Structure 1
């Protein structure tokens, strides 16, 4: 009988709070809150589009979603999400399907945690 080892993937995500503070200072509280809510919604939508495009190997749709997600992630201080998205783009361009699927799984984990982290920040006063 073979032993099965279950690996737990647990990466810490941090949102660059300085970027969020700068957004609030630049835009004011109400506008910044609207921007953050919109960005979170858009990021989630682009993550779903990326997942679907990788699963179906649709490079055009993938490139469109990645091109939209990277600047959004940067704008709201999600640097790890931005980097993992770039890593996935590199794997897709190299046509490495195994690596693409692994990095896609990482992107989904990091993305979910990043979005949750922003929601938690929104609950605190900035």
Structure 2
């Protein structure tokens, strides 16, 4: 019988890319109050859709997962979440390729990047106030 002497925990860390200039432009174009409203709604919607994507994957509803991941692209891009938009596109491509292992890996990468990205947006907003 083999005994495991040492366990190694792998920590997956993702680089979040926030286009702060895009966010700043949004504030300049709309004004602070309206931009705040847009950013808050976008962050809320992204959080809901990320959770929805995971639920759809667990239910094996890949067509709906593709649609939900695709919707993340435009919302992410609107507020400058570059990495999140790119990985959401990768999820849709994996669904199109019907690669179940790649779908799972890419979806959970999207969730990690999404969580970090939403935090980055809030931190960016706090710095600008």
The two structures share one fold, judged by TM-score above 0.5? yes
* Distance (Å, rounded) in 2 between the aligned partners of 1:115 and 1:54: 21
- Give aligned pairs, total: 126
* Distance (Å, rounded) in 1 between the aligned partners of 2:60 and 2:127: 40
**Deviation string, structure 1 residues 37-85 (Cα, Å, up to 9, x no partner):** 0000011111111111111121232133123211000011111001111
Could you list the runs of 5+ residues in structure 1 that have no partner in the other structure? none
Which stretch shifts more, 102-111 or 62-71?
62-71
Which stretch shifts more, 107-116 or 3-12?
3-12
* Distance (Å, rounded) in 2 between the aligned partners of 1:122 and 1:50: 26
1:36-51 correspondence to structure 2 within 5 Å:
36-51=39-54
TM-score, with length taken from structure 2: 0.90
Which stretch shifts more, 15-24 or 91-100?
91-100
- Aligned residue number for residue 20 of structure 1: 23
- Aligned residue number for residue 96 of structure 1: 99
Could you list the runs of 5+ residues in structure 2 that have no partner in the other structure? none
* Distance (Å, rounded) in 1 between the aligned partners of 2:63 and 2:98: 14
**Deviation string, structure 1 residues 5-58 (Cα, Å, up to 9, x no partner):** 322211221210010010001000000000000000011111111111111121
Which has the larger Rg?
A: 2
TM-score, with length taken from structure 1: 0.92
- Aligned residue number for residue 66 of structure 2: 63
Is residue 49–residue 61 contact of structure 1 (8 Å, CA) maintained in 2? no
Q: What's the Cα RMSD here?
A: 1.4
The structure 1 segments of at least 4 consecutive aligned residues displaced by more than 4 Å after TM superposition are none
